[in-house]
Structures are given as C-alpha cells and as structure tokens.
Amino acid sequence: MTTIQTQEQRGERRFGLTRNRILTVASLILFIGFLIWAQNNLDPYKLRILNLCAIYAIFAVTFNLIFGFTGQLSLGHAGFAAVGAYTAALLTMSVAQKQANFFLEPLVPLLANVEWPFLPAILVGGVLAALTGLLIGWPALRLRGDYLAIATLGFSEIIRVICVNWQNVTNGSLGLKGIPGHTNLYWSWGWAIITIFVVKKLVDSSYGRALKAIRDDEIAAEALGIHLARHKILAFTLSSFFVGVGGALLANLISTIDPKVFMFFLAYQIVGITVMGGMGSLTGSVVAAVLYTVFLEVLRPIESPFSIGPINVPGIPGMRMVLFSILLLLVILFYQKGLFGGKEFSWDGLFAIGGKIRARFARASVPPATPPANLKEE
C-alpha cells in the first residue's frame, strides 16, 4: 500500500512539474508577444513607463538580494547605478556628441574616439559597478545594521561627488546630453528577466541557504562553518553588477544624465519599493516596482493646478511623493511584511487558491438537507 501511494505521489509530482514548466514557457511566450506589440504600437510616453518599470524591478530585486535574503542594509545603489550609467553613456555616445558635451575641458583621449555597441557597453558598465561594489564591500561589510547603511550611503555620495568634480570624464555638474536612446522594452525587460532568473537560482542554491542563515543569525551561521565575508561579498558584488546594468539602461533611456539623478533619494525610492513588495520576495519586488512607477505617473496631474467644482486647487510640487508615502505607511500598517511578505508566485499556489475558491462556491451552492418525511410527522 505504501509503495502504491509513493508511486502515485511521484506521478503527481512529475505531472505537476511538467504542467508548471509548460505554463511557465507559455507565459513567457505571451509576455514576449506583449512586449513586441507594445514596442510597435504604444506611444513613447507609455513605452518609457514600461521601461522604467523594468529598471526599477532590477533595482528592487538586487536590493532584496542584499537586504531581504542576506540581511545587510546597503544604501549604495545610487552610486553603483551612476557607475554603470556614466560608463555606458561614454561608450555609446558618438564622437561628435562627446565633443559637443565636453566644451569646458576635453574628454580624456582614452574615451574620446570610441563608440561601442550597446551590449558590450552594458556589460562593461555592470563589471565596473561590480568592481566598485567589491572594493566598497570588502571593508564596509565588516559593519552591521545602521552602521553599514551609513557607510554605504557615504560611499554612494563619494561616487556622486567624484562625478561632479571629474570634469574631463563625467563633464562635471553639466552631465552628459545626447546619449543614444538604445533602451527599449526588449533590452529593459530582457535584463529584468535575466536578473530575476539569476537571483532566484542563487537564492534556491546552497549559497542562498547560507545567505538566509547569515540573515537570521550571523553567529550561528559562522558556527556552522559558513564563511561570512565570502558570502556577503558574493551577494554584494552580484547585486552591484545588475545595479550597474540598470544604470546603463536608465542612461540610454532618458538620454541625459547628471550627478543629481543619482542622489541618495534614488536609494530611498528603492528601499520603499522593496519594503512595499515584501522583504525576501522577488515577486513582491517586481509587482511593487510596477505599481510604484505606474502610480507616480497616474498621480502626476495632482502636482498641476486643477478644479473640484467651484474650488480651484493650486499645483503642489512633490504632492505625489507625499501620497506615495501615505500609501507606503498604509501598507506597513496593514501588511507588516509587505504585499507578498516572504512568499513567491508559484503555479501550485495559484491552483491551490483556485481549488479553495471552487470548494467554497460548491459548498455555498449545495442546498441544505431536508429531514425525512417521517421525522416531520413526529
């Protein structure tokens, strides 16, 4: 009997895995079809919103890797994004556009006459951001908690100040203009999917279990033989690489960058998105990134003058961020662990929810049992 049950369970498990793979492939095909349709039919404004959704998803997923799964509160994302953005911009800009930008002080000869394709520029931007993260993470990750947050925020501001003062490389506070607009839905969402896939595979591996052990209790993890510094630097460097990729995509989307784009406010935005989605949930990070980007654009008219009947309301700059902050507070009050908590989307979970809903409707549709006639007479 036990053998028969075991065989049945194995058959059900194989069927479930096959079904989940088929559904995943079908969903990817549908999503790619949607991207192709959107890229060819939507106007530039809506395309920019969809691209920003993907870029913020990359930022949120990588922050979740560091904080949600490793427990290291790092606020250096803005600095790593700046490294990737400036690298990709300088490598993809035309020679004539570089000469037009660097009129106060000429660009260094090493970069003045180069013009690379977009993919190598993205990869170089990610690698340089990863190297920067490695150099910063080696001393900074010896700290914990608030001290680590302050240290990484300080390093991020150092990178921004370097961008302001390194005139013959970053063009200083004037920034870079006329960056080629290579970023489209294929680039942004393609890299978002790659980021999610790599981080998910890492989290589900033995390295991911070690990262979770470090998050829960560093002393116990070290006692079990986990090399704390090695695993922390692994997560930090991998996260920095994809943040640099996100910065490169951002630079080639907005076509103009300057040091103000990468102020500490960007790091706070990423923290807010991740907390809203749920720490330790990649699904929550992606959903929250999309909701954040869309809501900010939907609330944009609030910052312009409008009328409610006879009442004229003046435009208040920054009001949409106030409303987003209120929304974040409501999420924290009613969903202390975020919208998804530590849960991830799965086909098995979706089918389980569907089964519960069908069972509930089935119970509600069954009429109440009537007693037999002889009992009624008595």
100-150 pLDDT, tens digit each: 888 888 888 888 888 899 999 999 999 999 999 999 888 887 888 788 889
Residue at 327 is within a domain: no
Domain with 64, as residue range(s), is: 26-264
Q: Are 231 and 210 in contact, with CB atoms under 8 Å apart?
A: yes
Residue at 250 is within a domain: yes
Residue at 284 is within a domain: no
Residue 81, token pair as written in the block: 């994004």
Q: Which is more confidently placed, 339 or 7?
A: 339
Residue at 167 is within a domain: yes
Residue 113, token pair as written in the block: 């006459």
Residue at 296 is within a domain: no
Q: How confident is the model at residue 1 (pLDDT cuts 50, 70, 90)?
A: very low
Residue at 2 is within a domain: no
Q: Residue 112's Cα: distance from chain center in Å?
A: 33
Average pLDDT over residues 140-164: 88
Q: What percent of the chain has pLDDT over 90?
A: 40
Q: What is the pLDDT of residue 9?
A: 62
**Within a 10 A sphere around the Cβ of 292, how many other Cβ atoms?**
24
Q: Which is more confidently placed, 208 or 338?
A: 208
Look over the chain and give the mean of its residue pLDDT values, rounded to a whole number: 85
The pTM (predicted TM-score) of the whole model is 0.87
Residue at 131 is within a domain: yes
Which of 6-10, 39-43, 65-69, 291-295 has the lowest average pLDDT? Answer: 6-10
Q: Which is more confidently placed, 86 or 334?
A: 86
Q: What is the pLDDT of residue 91?
A: 93
263-298 pLDDT, tens digit each: 888 888 898 889 888 888 899 999 999 998 998 888
**3-class DSSP state for residue 343?**
coil
Dihedral-angle region of residue 178 (phi above 0 means left; psi in -120 to 50 means alpha; beta otherwise):
left
Count Cβ atoms within 10 A of the Cβ of residue 24 and give its class: 0-12 exposed, 13-18 middle, 19 or more buried.
exposed
Q: Are 45 and 262 in contact, with CB atoms under 8 Å apart?
A: no
Residue at 349 is within a domain: no
Q: What is the pLDDT of residue 336?
A: 74
Give yes or no for residue 354 having a pLDDT over 80.
no
Q: What percent of the chain has pLDDT over 70?
A: 90
Per-residue DSSP letters for 134-196? HHHHHHHTTS-HHHHHHHHHHHHHHHHHHHHH-HHHH-GGG-EE-------HHHHHHHHHHHH
Average pLDDT over residues 353-369: 71
Domain count, the chain: 1
Distance in angstroms (rounded) separating the CA atoms of residues 83 and 62: 16
Distance in angstroms (rounded) separating the CA atoms of residues 359 and 344: 24
**Within a 10 A sphere around the Cβ of 347, how many other Cβ atoms?**
16
Q: Are 77 and 62 in contact, with CB atoms under 8 Å apart?
A: yes
| Angle formed at CA 276 by CA 264 and CA 144, multiple of 5 degrees | 55
